[in-house]
Structure 1
Amino acid sequence: MKALFKKYKSVIKFIITFLVVYITLAVCYKFYLQFSDGSKFYPDYFTNLVAKQSRAVLNTLDYNAEIMPHPNEPSMKLVLNGKYLARVIEGCNAISVIILFLSFIVAFSGQVKTTFLYILAGSVLIYTFNLLRIVVLAIGLYHYPKYEAVLHTVVFPAIIYGMVFLLWIVWVNRFSKLKQKHV
């Protein structure tokens, strides 16, 4: 048994580090959501911010976009040219995806400065891609409503998770300690 632990020490370390970081951040995020009362930023600050930024990008693209609090659930309604298209819910704010990304990078950490900068840059990139994903989804739903199921459940999750996967691959192959050991 001891030989197995020794043989798979790096794998075990990765799994434990990943789980500790992920669970810690997920619990912190859950507390954040639990204590966000929505009185100033409905339903919570980050979801509200993503909805406002999505509206701004859509308006920049010459669409008449509006957002408003959903009366029956904690979300923001997204209206494009007078047509209610979608809800921006807590899951649309990319925070849980960023937590997943960050947990992996920490578990495969490299030098502290490089790790911190990569987490920062990757988080900004994921957040930006998420905004663009919402904008493109809204435009797609506006022009091609019959493809809603495919757009929302296949194409757009593939975009955001594909971006995370590519960032992980770049990290492991260029910056992690694992790469440094094999140089």
Structure 2
Amino acid sequence: MLKDFKPVLSILLRFIIIYLVLLFAYQFYLNSFQDEGLDPFSRMIAEQVRYIQNVFGYQTQLYDDVKGEQVYFYVKNQYPTRMVEGCNAISVMILFVAFVFAFYKGKKTFVFVLIGLALLYIMNVLRIIGLNIVVTDYKQYAKISHDYVFPAVIYGTVVVLWLVWIKFFALKHENS
């Protein structure tokens, strides 16, 4: 009976191991910057958001809160949002990578993961820009945007990528 579940258990075990290894590596990374404020990856995203918002006429400055491990966006004479470690989408990217590698299919797995991570990165930057615009110009939609709409954007992107991986790569037979 256990033999019937071996492929499923194998995939599940690979997912759990990859997820935990990446999660612990990320926590180690975060711990190494604990006294320096916002970690460099999150800071880089904040800088890119600032740059793009400035290009599109939303004059933006960043203000560091080292003690609070966050960066505030200053837009239109107000502080609409702040960038914290959780906004960098790394946890979502780790989940994405673990799932795709659980269904490992050789070199194309690495290519798909790199393309997927680039897409998730871009979607996350656009998500933060969108949230800054909503909170700055449409305050009445700030809570629903932050709590539901923009998380749906990033998680929806992950689900679509997973579906593409499963349908077109992971379950596709090599001879077809």
Question: 1:146-157 counterparts in 2 under 5 A?
Answer: 146-157=140-151
Match of 2:110 among 71, 93, 116: 116
What is the CA–CA distance in structure 1 between the aligned matches of 2:175 and 2:59, rounded to whole Å? Answer: 53
Deviation per CA, 1:126-182: give whole Å up to 9, x if none.
000000000011001111112211000000000000000000000000111x22279
User: 2: CA distance between counterparts of 1:21 and 1:71?
Assistant: 32
Within the candidate set 127, 139, 161, 2:121 is matched to 127
Q: 1:79 aligns with which of 74, 79, 86?
A: 74
Distance 1:71 1:157 in 2: 26
Paired letter, 1:169 = L
Alignment partner of 1:90 out of 85, 94, 97: 85
Q: Which residue of 1 aligns with 2:154?
A: 160
Q: Is 1:30 the counterpart of 2:35 in the alignment?
A: no
For residues 1-40 of structure 1, the aligned pairs below 5 Å read: 3=1, 5-37=2-34, 39=36
AA aligned to 2:29 is Y
Q: Which runs of 5+ in 1 are unaligned?
A: none
- Which residue in 2 is equivalent to 1:170? 164
- The TM-score normalised by the length of structure 1 is 0.92
Whole-Å separation in 2 of the counterparts to 1:66 and 1:147: 23
Contact 1:137–1:151 (8 Å) recurs in 2: yes
The equivalent residue for 2:133 is 139
AA matched with 2:6:
K
* Alpha-carbon shift at residue 70 of structure 1 (Å): 2.1
Distance, in Å, in 2 between the alignment partners of 1:162 and 1:147 is 20
Q: Which residue of 2 aligns with 1:46?
A: 41
In 1, distance between residues paired with 2:69 and 2:136?
Answer: 23
Residue in 2 aligned with 1:103?
A: 98
CA contact (8 A) 1:38 1:44 kept: no
**Contact 2:38–2:66 at 8 Å: present in 1 too?**
no
Q: How many Å separate the matches in 2 of 1:50 and 1:131?
A: 7
Q: TM-score under structure 2 normalisation?
A: 0.95
Structure 2 unaligned spans of 5+: none
Aligned length: 176
Quick one: distance in 1 between partners of 2:39 and 2:68?
Answer: 12
* Inter-partner Cα distance in structure 2 for 1:90 and 1:169: 27
